Amino acid sequence: MAHTVAELGEFGLIDAMVAGQPPTKGIEVGPGDDAAVLALGGGRTVATTDLLVETHHFRRDWSSAEDVGHKASAQNLADLVAMAARPVAVLVGLGLPADLPVDWVQELYRGLRAECDPLGVGVAGGDVVAAEQVTVAVTALGELLGDAPLRRGGARAGDVVAVYGRLGWAEAGLAVLRRGFRSPRVLVDAHRRPAVPYDAGDSALEHGATAMCDVSDGLLADAGHIATASGVAIDVHTDQLYVPDPMSEIASALGVDPVRWVLHGGEDHAMVATFPTPPAHPWRVVGTVASGSGVTVDGEAYEHTSGHTHFG
């Protein structure tokens, strides 16, 4: 029996926490998907929450406060998009050291608003407490675009797997920063501020998607969430993955295979979805769905398919 959260792991811990939880009136979709769906007042609200903790998710010498604000909003809004929901509002909780400059906090808030404002998303409230390090907790609320949420469990054998958005860019940017560099700027900026495809929910519904997931932990890991929830096998085809020139060039300089960044890199918040037939641009087909279980790469088992793990 595991005695620490590290031994149990993030998803094992979640399973242990919710084990035996009885059905609750008003909760249509609970733990295990990108967001919850709540039946409230005759309608349905989609809700999600996420945390950014200093030194674990960002460093103030690598990212500005505005960068952190953008990322905190983006990673939560992306979870709503993954459920085919329209973001409406966010609540923001802040844990702040007492000696933190007020200017830094104001800049953080500007970043939060700058990510939300183009979508018509308002900051509806929150909380501020004292903490040893900066912690940003955002709860995002949205409304469904269709009659039902687009969940992880609908993929079927014969579907294709497609992605919308960037893969591996944030991971490549992190690799650059860890080596003490600040360029290529396009990769470093991708680590600092995700480029979420906010229209992916509408697009996925238009193309008849059967399942979808936000790529926050890595393509293989998040395709694995779809495979597990749907009871199917997914095979990713490396010859269909896109490696941009800046990523290829910096990977060569660092002696790294850039395809690993594309397969494992998280925090780009692209969307991976399954479709009965190949969807049109900007979706890119990267794999197939078959009977069975698990995720393979080019038909073979692939080492280190777990992607990012919080307690790894």
Sheet holding 270-275, edge to edge: 211-215, 270-275, 160-164, 284-290, 233-236, 294-297
171 CB-near residues (< 8 Å, 6+ apart): 191, 261, 264, 265, 266, 267, 268
List the one residue out of 125, 58, 57 whose CA is nearest residue 91.
125
The verdict on 156 and 129 lying in the same domain is no
Residue 214: the pLDDT is 98
CATH number, domain at 64? 3.30.1330.10
- Domain termination site, one of 144, 176, 195: 144
The tens digit of pLDDT for each residue in 156-210 reads: 999 999 999 999 999 999 999 999 998 899 999 999 999 999 999 999 999 999 9
Q: Are residues 158 and 275 in the same domain?
A: yes
Same domain, 110 and 140: yes
Same domain, 96 and 208: no
> What tens digit of pLDDT does each residue of 3-42 get?
776 666 565 655 655 555 666 678 899 888 999 999 987 7
Q: How many other C-beta atoms lie within 10 A of the C-beta of residue 267?
A: 22
Q: Is the pLDDT of residue 311 over 50?
A: no
**CATH, residue 197:** 3.90.650.10
Q: Is residue 7 part of a domain?
A: no
- Examine residue 18 and state whether it is found in any structural domain, yes or no: no
Q: Which of 94, 120, 144 is the last residue of a domain?
A: 144
Residue 300 has pLDDT above 80, yes or no: yes
Considering the domain boundaries, does residue 12 fall inside one? Answer: no
Report pLDDT for 302. Answer: 86
The parent domain of residue 177 ranges over 152-297
Q: In the numeric block, which tokens belong to residue 224?
A: 């694995």
Calculate the dihedral angle through the C-alpha atoms of 200, 246, 169, 257, rounding to the nearest 10 degrees: 120
Summarize pLDDT for 135-153 with one digit per residue, the tens.
Answer: 999 999 999 999 999 999 9
Confidence of residue 211 (pLDDT cuts 50, 70, 90): very high
Share of the chain above pLDDT 90, in %: 83
Query: 177-192: per-residue pLDDT in tens?
Result: 999 998 899 999 999 9
Whole-number mean pLDDT of the chain?
92
**Is 291 part of a structural domain of the chain?**
yes
Q: Is the pTM of this model over 0.75?
A: yes
Domain boundary among the residues 115, 144, 173 is at 144
Tens-place pLDDT, residues 249-282: 999 999 999 999 999 998 999 999 999 999 999 9
How many folded domains does the chain comprise? 2
Residues 229, 124, single domain; the answer is no
Residues 138, 49 contacting (CB under 8 angstroms): yes
pLDDT given at position 175: 95
Residue 19 is predicted with a pLDDT of 59
Q: What is the mean pLDDT of residues 281-309?
A: 86
The pair of structure tokens assigned to 257 is 């295979």
